[in-house]
A and B are shown apart, each in its own frame.
Chain A
Amino acid sequence: AQKITQTQPGMFVQEKEAVTLDCTYDTSDPSYGLFWYKQPSSGEMIFLIYQGSYDQQNATEGRYSLNFQKARKSANLVISASQLGDSAMYFCAMRSEMNTGFQKLVFGTGTRLLVSP
Chain B
Amino acid sequence: NAGVTQTPKFQVLKTGQSMTLQCAQDMNHNSMYWYRQDPGMGLRLIYYSASEGTTDKGEVPNGYNVSRLNKREFSLRLESAAPSQTSVYFCASSDGGWTYNSPLHFGNGTRLTVT
Q: Are B88 and A43 in contact (CB under 8 A)?
A: yes
B72, CB-defined interface residue at 8 Å: no
Q: Are B43 and A91 in contact (CB under 8 A)?
A: yes
Bound complex: CA of A45 vs CA of B92, how far in Å? 10
Bound complex: CA of A103 vs CA of B56, how far in Å? 12
What range describes how many residues of A lie at the interface? Answer: 20 to 34
Q: Are A91 and B42 in contact (CB under 8 A)?
A: yes
**Which residues of chain A are within 8 angstroms of B97 by Cβ–Cβ distance?**
95, 102-104
Q: Are A52 and B101 in contact (CB under 8 A)?
A: yes
Known: A43-B88, A91-B43, A109-B40. A104 touches B58 (CB 8 A): yes
Bound complex: CA of A47 vs CA of B108, how far in Å? 13
Known: A44-B108, A45-B106, A104-B58. A50 touches B101 (CB 8 A): yes
**Which residues of chain A are within 8 angstroms of B31 by Cβ–Cβ distance?**
102
**Which residues of chain B are within 8 angstroms of A101 by Cβ–Cβ distance?**
98
**Which residues of chain B are within 8 angstroms of A109 by Cβ–Cβ distance?**
40-42
Chain A interface mostly helix, strand, loop or mixed?
strand
Bound complex: CA of A79 vs CA of B47, how far in Å? 32
**Which residues of chain B are within 8 angstroms of A47 by Cβ–Cβ distance?**
103-105
User: CB within 8 A of A110: which of B42, B45, B100?
Assistant: B42
A-B contact pairs, 19 of them (CB 8 A): A33-B101, A35-B104, A43-B88, A43-B109, A44-B109, A47-B105, A91-B43, A93-B43, A95-B97, A95-B100, A101-B98, A102-B56, A103-B98, A104-B33, A104-B58, A105-B45, A106-B45, A109-B40, A110-B42
Query: Given A4-B42, A91-B43, list of 17 further CB < 8 A pairs?
Result: A33-B101, A45-B43, A45-B90, A45-B106, A45-B109, A50-B103, A95-B97, A95-B100, A101-B98, A102-B31, A102-B48, A102-B56, A103-B100, A104-B58, A107-B42, A108-B42, A110-B42
